[in-house]
Amino acid sequence: MTDTPRALADLARDIDATCRLTGRFVLRSGRTADEYFDKYQFEADPVLLDRVAASLARLVPPGTEVLAGLEMGGIPVVTALARHVGLPCAFVRKTAKAYGTARLAEGADIAGRRVLVVEDVLTSGGQVVISTGQLRELGATVEHALCVIDRGEGGAEALADHGIALRALLTRADLDAARRP
């Protein structure tokens, strides 16, 4: 599927209207923000999530063998995306569980495979950097990360410092432009 500029602008408008909150919010990075993108609002809407996944599909790098969704918001995104691209998924925990399989990454095997890390919203990039390092230690080749929203607050640069190229469906600027009449 190829997104037209109009279709992508419509998607940005719908995501913005669905998930942008105003107030005082502490982000995972520890930063305080006056706006928050409540990604669970678009992830919980099956029609909107499917539109997101269809648009993300065109951003999956050639040669990708496994999609790795980060706990917790990346899990629904990666599952929906997999339906569009036909690739297996790994579900990546923040820390390996202490029971059952005791794995950090559940689902598809990642060792020796080209893995695309999938996240919902990127701010500082901290969790993507941490999780990518852990996946690499488990034998995965990770060169790219994909996110639905890049807040434009240094995350892409932080990833680049660790050899990870970011592909973002939408940026904060896209969502801001979608609000304008």
123 annotated as belonging to a binding site for a ligand: yes
Structure tokens at 9: 């602008």
34 annotated as belonging to a binding site for a ligand: no
Contact predicate 135/92, CB 8 Å: yes
28 annotated as belonging to a binding site for a ligand: yes
127 annotated as belonging to a binding site for a ligand: yes
120 annotated as belonging to a binding site for a ligand: yes
Structure tokens at 60: 């999956």
Structure tokens at 91: 């579900």
Peptide bond into 72 cis (omega under 30): yes
121 annotated as belonging to a binding site for a ligand: yes
CA dist 154 and 157 (Å) reads: 5
Q: Are strands 20-26 and 32-37 parallel, antiparallel or unpaired?
A: antiparallel
Facing residues of 170 across strands?
149
13 annotated as belonging to a binding site for a ligand: no
DSSP string, 70-89: ETTTHHHHHHHHHHHH---E
For residue 107, CA distances in Å to 98, 110, 142 come to 17, 9, 17
22 annotated as belonging to a binding site for a ligand: no
154 annotated as belonging to a binding site for a ligand: no
Element (H, E) at 155: helix 155-160
155 annotated as belonging to a binding site for a ligand: no
39 annotated as belonging to a binding site for a ligand: no
Residues making up the binding site for orotate: 123, 151
The binding site for 5-phospho-alpha-D-ribose 1-diphosphate comprises 28, 93-94, 97, 119-127
- Could you list the residues known to form a binding site, using ranges: 28, 93-94, 97, 119-127, 151
